Amino acid sequence: MKLKLLFVIFFSVNLSVAQIAAPPVPETWENDIWLSNQWMHFSTVDYTFNQDCLPVIAVLQVLDFSSNTFIDSARLTTSYNANNLISETVNELWNGDTEIWENDRRSTQAYSGNNLIEIINYLWIDNVWQLDSRITNTYNTNNLIIESVIENRDLNMNAWIPATKQEFTYNAVPLLINTLGSEWDQTNQVWINDGRTTFVYDVNNLLNTKTFEDWENNDWVNDNQEVYTFDSNDFLIETLISNWNASTIVYDLERRELYTNNSQGYYTELIRDNYLLGSWIHASRDRRTYPECYTLNIENNATVTFSVYPIPAH
């Protein structure tokens, strides 16, 4: 059985000083899983940067259990426009039988100034790129994103069909204080509430809690909550995730994330634990090293966070 792990890109659309800044793209990203009371190295992503300290190629290798060696799995190539903003990404999968990289998916990005206004996603089908989905972003006069709509491509109708929508609300700082998610009702041609997230900050404008709610029976009901802890340098060191218990009317601990940061506030280690029977049990670990150019006062303009889907250790 072939193991296929795909690169995906989470565009950190500029939310001003919204919540927690994503770490920059690492030079090496290693992922471990907790197995038999010890860490087992499972995957590695190596990034190559251009002269502007922007990632242009990322190669994912995963552990082949049968041979106990690391083998190629996926490759992501990124292109930029004249403003060092991402213009295109191409994801390829490694074919172990033919030993060549094969196209899998592709994205193109369009901007208004520095604002990302459109992402078009394609799938490689029958040796051609076919339209798959589209993301359209709308901004206010302060260049804050206020709406993001995802549409799927209907090849039979040759049209874009709305799927989901996110709306963003800010306070005067501006900080992101609320997101409202909706799903498109194709039958009635209306948006239906799906979920919302509320952000609460402390007196220093550090994110304190993020609360998620679901829309059920025409009412908002609690779903889960994240609580954030920062050190004296305002670096994130812990995230606690809890699920709402409707029976006891409290949030029950589910998992946590523990961060170890370097002097710049970029995390070098992230340990994910699950809460089981009153104890914390290791689940996975990320280890990151960063290129020297990040410490040489070279501006990094990559407004994108690279990840792997699905996360190998989950």
**pLDDT digit string (tens) for 112-165?**
999 999 999 999 999 999 999 999 999 999 999 999 999 999 989 999 999 999
The helix (run of H) or strand (run of E) holding residue 74 is: strand 69-80
Region 242-257: mean pLDDT is 97
* Residue whose structure tokens are 């609320």: 178
Q: What SS3 class is residue 141?
A: coil
The rounded distance, in Å, linking the Cα atoms of 76 and 155 is 26
Long-range CB pairs of 277-282, under 8 A, 24+ apart, other chains included? 280/256, 281/34, 282/34, 282/39
DSSP 295: G
Q: What is the pLDDT of residues 58-83, one digit of tens each?
A: 999 999 999 999 999 999 999 999 99
Q: pTM of the predicted model, to two decimals?
A: 0.87
Q: Which two tokens stand for residue 290?
A: 């960063």
Residue 89: count other Cβ atoms within 10 Å of its Cβ: 22
